[in-house]
């Protein structure tokens, strides 16, 4: 993972290749990485990873959650396409998660495991398991975890389990999370999407979030 500079990761959930490249062109300097997930990959093709990765580091958010062999195949496709970071679910278990860690390491890339998601429904099944999922991420050798900016107290708890592994944290802005609170709770990077990509002035919004991050650092 690129050294923490802005501590921001852009969630690029747009459906047009041109729009995606336009946003990366104008916003790239505000973000340490660009997160690309199913919406853009399905709409624009896997080649979009290569195009964007020539401009900025790309994390492929495929929330990989299959048996070890299938996980390996998915990881290798995304890594060959240019991703330098991948997001996987921890719940399929150590063997599945370790397959992702092994693949990413072979490419010098990072693997982030989801602990508890940021939306309200995560309280049904994920929250009761989040501590075990965080421990599983550490045991598997993941680079870090995904933890919710919508519940900063959960970032704190997960930080106490994972030590100095990296926390990337979605949920700032549209989902209601505060950039300052998530950073103060221990997030290393914030994942921000719609509140910036859908703003009338995305650059001004990125600047606003960046100034909140800077103001909340010790
Ligand atoms: O809500 P936003 O538009 O800022 O985007 C958040 C992004 O992070 C989006 O791509 C979503 O799929 C992803 N994400 C979560 O929101 C919550 C998680 O627990 C994991 C990923």
Distance 196 CA to ligand 1 centre (A): 13
Mutate to test the pocket of ligand 1, among 171, 176, 187 (most ligand atoms within 8 A of CB): 171
Bridge partners (DSSP) listed for residue 146: 114, 168
Rg, C-alpha atoms of the chain: 16
Give the pLDDT score at 45. Answer: 95
Give the pLDDT score at 4. Answer: 80
Contact of 137 with 81, CB cutoff 8 Å: no
State the pTM of this model.
0.97
Q: Is 63 tagged catalytic?
A: yes
Ordered mean pLDDT values, 10 residues apiece, the chain (218 residues): 88 96 95 97 96 96 98 98 98 98 98 97 95 98 98 97 97 97 97 97 97 92
Contact of 7 with 190, CB cutoff 8 Å: yes
| DSSP state letters, 20-66 | HHHHHHHHGGG-SEEEEEHHHHHHH-THHHHHHHTTS-EEEEEEE-S
- Burial degree of 209 (CB within 10 A; 0-12, 13-18, 19+): buried
Contact of 155 with 167, CB cutoff 8 Å: yes
Q: Which atom of ligand 1 is nearest to the CA of 148?
A: 19
Contact of 97 with 134, CB cutoff 8 Å: no
Contact of 128 with 152, CB cutoff 8 Å: no
Residues within a 6 A CB radius of ligand 1: 11, 13, 37, 61, 114, 117-118, 146, 148, 170-171, 173-175, 191-195
The catalytically annotated residue of 63, 102, 135, 156 is 63
Inter-CA distances, 116 with 20, 127, 148, 149, Å:
27, 6, 6, 10
User: What 8-state DSSP symbol labels residue 190?
Assistant: E
Q: Which atom of ligand 1 is nearest to the CA of 174?
A: 1
Residue 26 contacts by C-beta under 8 Å, 6 or more apart in sequence? Answer: 202, 203
> For 33-86, how does the pLDDT look when each residue is reduced to its tens digit (9 = 90+)?
999 999 999 999 999 999 999 999 999 999 999 999 999 999 999 999 999 999
């Amino acid at each position: 993972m690129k050294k923490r500079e802005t501590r921001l990761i852009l969630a690029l959930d747009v459906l047009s290749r041109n729009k995606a490249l336009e946003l990366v062109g104008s916003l790239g300097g505000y973000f340490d990485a660009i997160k690309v997930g199913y919406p853009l990959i399905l709409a624009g093709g896997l080649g979009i990873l290569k195009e964007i990765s020539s401009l900025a580091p790309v994390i492929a958010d495929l929330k990989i959650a299959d048996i070890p062999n299938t996980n390996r195949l998915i990881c290798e496709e995304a890594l060959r396409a240019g991703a330098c970071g991948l997001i996987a679910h921890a719940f399929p278990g150590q063997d599945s998660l370790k397959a992702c860690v092994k693949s990413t390491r072979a490419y010098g890339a990072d693997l982030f495991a989801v602990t508890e998601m940021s939306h309200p429904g995560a309280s049904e099944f994920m929250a009761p398991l989040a501590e075990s999922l965080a421990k599983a991420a550490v045991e598997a050798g993941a680079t870090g975890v995904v933890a919710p900016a919508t519940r900063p107290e959960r970032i704190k708890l997960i930080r106490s389990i994972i030590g100095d592994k990296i926390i990337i944290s979605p949920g700032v802005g549209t989902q209601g999370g505060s950039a300052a609170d998530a950073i103060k709770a221990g997030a290393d990077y914030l994942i921000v999407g719609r509140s910036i990509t859908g703003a009338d002035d995305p650059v001004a919004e990125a600047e606003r979030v960046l100034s909140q991050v800077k103001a909340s650092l010790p």
